[in-house]
Amino acid sequence: MGIVSLITGKAGPSGFGSASTAEQVTEGIDATNLTAIVTGGASGIGLETSRVLALCGAHVIIAARNLKAANEAKQIILKDNGAANIDVLKLDLCSMKSIREFANNFNALDLPLNMLINNAGIMFCPYQLSEDGIEIQFATNHLGHFHLTNLLLDKMKKTASDTGIEGRIVNLSSIAHIHTYEEGIRFDNINDRKGYSDKKAYGQSKLANILHANELSRRLKEEGANITANSVHPGLIMTNLFRYSGFVFKVLKVLTCLLWKNVPQGAATTCYVAVHPSLKGVTGKYFLDCNEMKPSAFARDEVLGKKLWDFSNKLVNSVEFRG
């Protein structure tokens, strides 16, 4: 899947490519009786992912910080599909307290959980710390999803065991994972302001998304759980993630216009990995344009992945203990 395929939309081994839309890659798939959580499902590719999974029959929980926007998104989906089964729950991924409250509220609904789509994210933010005192891009893009996934994992395991249906976890990463700090993850300087780069901090968080999925996949396989964990790069899509990027990226979009996708195309890889039957049992992989791709050397480093897992656990536990 090279640059020519990206520009032309030529299909890869999966039968899909960069021009494929979320509806096309899920055509004919029945997700009735399946439940999916989509973080950041109120806008952009998260909204399109929620819409298309609901179109397949899934019960979709939109997890979002802005409840007004999330409820507006619900109405957009219902206008398109009156039979859609959509619920909204509040989730602020840069707050450990909010994440735990979300997990408790979801579990109180006594629903199964078949799919967890870790979609929400922020990009190229000026330096700031989360309410828990952690660099905001690392906190939101990686650590929040790491904590959320761990809190929901028992529910996913029980659902998979009770139903015999494979559970699927999808982490949205980015090709930006290749543009990170020299050491990959700055374990000793995660909150360092002096050496902060908004671009490298974003790349670090997206590298962490892949390492998280890979290490989670390894652990789930070792345990024998019927759950897969994969990561995806949705492609270049102009969404509100670019609100911090300014003039330079607007110029870049003009210069690279042939490489950019629309939102239905941007949601395709997520939906493909979440529900397509051809990926049954496929885990610990990275996907681009609905086809498996090889990520960076850092992203394939199992030692780094295990170190990140332990580091993330310590960060979460330190925050929970303070709380």
| Euclidean distance between CA atoms 108 and 101, whole angstroms | 10
Does residue 196 have an active-site annotation?
A: yes
The per-residue DSSP string of 242-255 comes to GGGTHHHHHHHHHH
Distance separating alpha carbons of residues 41 and 66, to the nearest angstrom: 10
What's the rounded Cα separation, in Å, for the pair 212 and 291?
A: 20
Structure token pair of residue 108 = 């109180």
Q: What is the CB neighbour count within 10 angstroms for residue 187?
A: 13
Q: Read off the tokens for 317.
A: 């536990």
Q: In DSSP terms, which residues pair with 293 in a beta bridge?
A: 286
Query: Which residues, in sequence order, are CB contacts of 97 under 8 Å at separation 6+?
Result: 323
Catalytic residue among 127, 196, 244, 272: 196
Q: How far apart are the first and last CA of the chain?
A: 47
User: How far apart (Å, rounded) are the C-alpha atoms in residues 63 and 67?
Assistant: 9
Buried-state track 97-126, b at ≥16 Cβ within 10 A, e below 16: ebbeebbeebeeeeebbbbbbbbbbbbbbe
Active site residues: 196
